[in-house]
Structure 1
Amino acid sequence: MDKDYMYFYRKICSSDLPANAVNVYKVLLQYANRTTWCCFPSVRTIAHDSKLSERTVRRQLNVLVSHGYILRIPRQRENNGFTSNMYFLN
């Protein structure tokens, strides 16, 4: 089955996750590439769009990872500096 936007939207809305985790997931869904379901917004961007603090966003990203809703891949720049993580929606 090909996954589309509504597949992910229904999946998260019918979950038993905390409301803040659902909110963070919806932000990731807005940024996700519709073919790969991958995105890489910064924590600051997610916090701004979800109207949550950066600390709350980090906690909710951990909830989403631990429940298998997203896969988080750290990214590095060529100079070995860190940049935003890459997120894959599951």
Structure 2
Amino acid sequence: MFVEAMQNYCIIHTPARKLICYITLTAMLEKLPADRFMKVHKSYVVALERVSRLTGTSLQIESHTIPISRTHRNEVTARIANRLLFKR
């Protein structure tokens, strides 16, 4: 699952469907649990447990490739690596 910002509304991508919510990405991020969701780009928030692949500049959730901004890259890498270590 991930959330994509589009001006002043968000598209929530779930495995079953897409939902449009008239809320900013910042407001959406405040409502989501911080230990499970993370902003990875100015336009994207992702569910960390759904990340299946990580490269230097993007991550994969199902068939979607989501960019990671330079600003968030180190924190994204650390949190996903940490999550994978404690998953075992």
Which structure's residues are more often strand, by fraction?
2
Same fold (TM over 0.5): no
TM-score (norm 2): 0.29
TM-score (norm 1): 0.29
Which structure's residues are more often helix, by fraction?
1
> Which gives a bigger RCO, structure 1 or 2 (Cα 8 Å, sep 6+)?
1
